[in-house]
Structure 1
Amino acid sequence: MNEMTILAFALVAFIGIATPGPTVLLALTNGSRHGVRRAGYGMIGAVLSDFVLIGAVALGLGALLAASEFWFTVVKWLGAAYLAFLGIALLRSRGTLDIASQEPHGAGEGTRRSIFLKSFLVAVTNPKGYLFFSAFLPQFIDPTLPQAKQYIALALVFASIDFIVMFAYAVLGSQAVRFLKRSGAIWLDRVCGGALLALAGSLAFYRRATF
C-alpha cells in the first residue's frame, strides 16, 4: 500500500465522515450539553466502533450481512430503534444550557459511560456501516500483500479522521450554545433530535439491494 493509496482513502473517508451522520450529530449535541472534554468520551466510543466495524469486515461479517436477510434485518431494526430512542430523547429535552455545570459528575445521561456507549452503539448497530466498509475498503487493499496490516493501516487513518471531525463538531456545539438563549438551546436539541429520527427512518426503510 503506497502513499497515494492512503491519501486517496483519507480524502474519500473525510468526505464521508464530514457529512453529518449519527456519531457526528452526537458529537455536536454532546459538545453543547456537556462540553468538549466530556464529549471526548463519545468520540472514543465512535473511534472504537470504527475498529470494530473494520475488523468485522476484515473477518467477513459484512459479507454475512450482505448475504443473510435475517441477520441484516435484525441489525437494521436494532440500529433504527436505538437512533429513534436517542432522537426522541433530544426532542423531549428542555434545553442544554448549563447542563454540564449543573449535572452531578456521575449521574444521568451525562456520565462518561453513557456518553461513550451512545456513540459506540449507534455505530455498531448500523448495518449500513458494515456494508459500506465491505464495499469501500477492498478498493484500497492490495491482494498481493498481507491484508491484516493493510486493514490496520486503513482503520487507523479512518479513526483519526473520524476523531478530528467529531472534535470539530463538538467544539462547534460547545461554542454555539454559549451564544444561544435557553430557547435557542432547545431548538438545537430539536434539530439534532429530528435529524436522528430521520436517520432512523431512513435506516428502517434501507434495503440491501440499494447499496
Structure 2
Amino acid sequence: MDVSTLLLYVVAVSAVMMTPGPSMLLALSNGASNGMRVASFGIAGAALSDLLLIGAVGCGLGALLQASEQLFSLVKWVGAVYLLYLAWVLWRAPTRMISEGYKPTVATGRAAFFRALIVGLSNPKGLLFFAAFLPQFIQPAESVAPQYVLLAIISASIDCIMMLAYALGGRLAMRRFSARVMQWINRSCAGMLVLLALGLSLYRRQQSQ
C-alpha cells in the first residue's frame, strides 16, 4: 500500500470519526463525570471494537450482515436499545464540581471499557461503514491481510486521538463550569444518544449501498 493511499485514508477516517457519535459522547461524559483514568478505559474499549469490526469485515461478516435482514435487524435493535439505556444512565448521573471535592464514583474503568466495547460492536452502521469503506483502499495485487491489519491499527489510533480530545474537553468543562452546567452537558449527551438510537432504529441496509 503506497503512502498516498494511506494519507487519503487517514484524512477520510479522521473526517468521519470526529463527528459526535456514541463513542465520542461516552468519552466526553466519562472525562467530565469520572476523570481521565476511567475515560481511558472507555477509549480502549472503543478502540478494541474498531479492531474487531475491521477484523470481521476482513472475514466477510460485513457482507453477511448486508445480506441477512434478520441478522441486521437483530444487531440494529440491540444497539438502539443499549443506546437508550446509556441515555437513561447519563440523564440520572449526579454531577459535582472538582472544587466541591468530587470523586469519580459513578463508573469504574472496567464498566467504562465494556460499555464502550458494547456500543461499538452493537452498532451495525459501524460494521457496514467499514465493509463499504475499507475495500476501496485495499490493493488486490498485494497481500490483503496485512493491509487490513494496517488500516485497523490506523483507524483505532485515530479514534483514540479523537476520543481523547472529547474526554479532555469534558474534563476541562468539569473544572470550569458549575455542577448545574455539568448536569446540562450530561443531559445533552443523553438527548443526543436518544436521537442516535432513533436514527439507528430507522437505519436501513440500503442506505449503506
TM-score clears 0.5: yes
Judged with a 3 Å threshold, the aligned counterparts in structure 2 of structure 1 residues 100 and 169 are, in CA distance, closer, same or farther, namely farther
CA–CA distance in 1 between the matches of 2:198 and 2:101?
A: 30
Deviation at 1:100, TM superposition (A): 9.1
- Residue 19 of structure 1 corresponds to 19
Judged with a 3 Å threshold, the aligned counterparts in structure 2 of structure 1 residues 116 and 166 are, in CA distance, closer, same or farther, namely same
Deviation at 1:149, TM superposition (A): 0.1
SS of residue paired to 2:97? coil
Alignment of 1:134-149 (within 5 A): 134-149=131-146
Count of aligned residue pairs for this structure pair: 207
Contact kept, 8 Å, 2:22 with 2:193, in 1: the verdict is: yes
Contact kept, 8 Å, 1:96 with 1:189, in 2: the verdict is: no
Deviation at 1:35, TM superposition (A): 1.3
Judged with a 3 Å threshold, the aligned counterparts in structure 2 of structure 1 residues 103 and 14 are, in CA distance, closer, same or farther, namely closer
Identity rate, percent: 45
Unaligned runs of 5+ in 2: none
- Report the residue type matching 2:163 in the other structure: M
CA–CA distance in 1 between the matches of 2:101 and 2:144?
A: 44
- Residue 52 of structure 1 corresponds to 52
- Residue 69 of structure 1 corresponds to 69
Which aligned segments of 4 or more residues in structure 1 are displaced greater than 2 angstroms?
A: 92-104
- Residue 196 of structure 1 corresponds to 193
Contact kept, 8 Å, 1:35 with 1:100, in 2: the verdict is: no
Unaligned runs of 5+ in 1: none
- Residue 102 of structure 1 corresponds to 103
Contact kept, 8 Å, 1:33 with 1:100, in 2: the verdict is: no
Identify the range of structure 1 (177-186 vs 60-69) with the bigger mean alpha-carbon deviation: 177-186
SS of residue paired to 1:90? helix
- Residue 210 of structure 1 corresponds to 207
Deviation at 1:36, TM superposition (A): 1.5
Judged with a 3 Å threshold, the aligned counterparts in structure 2 of structure 1 residues 183 and 35 are, in CA distance, closer, same or farther, namely same
The CA RMSD over aligned residues, in Å, is 1.4
- Residue 4 of structure 2 corresponds to 4
What's the CA shift string for 1:47-100, capped at 9, x where partnerless? Answer: 100100000000000000100000000000000000010011112233253599
- Residue 126 of structure 1 corresponds to 123
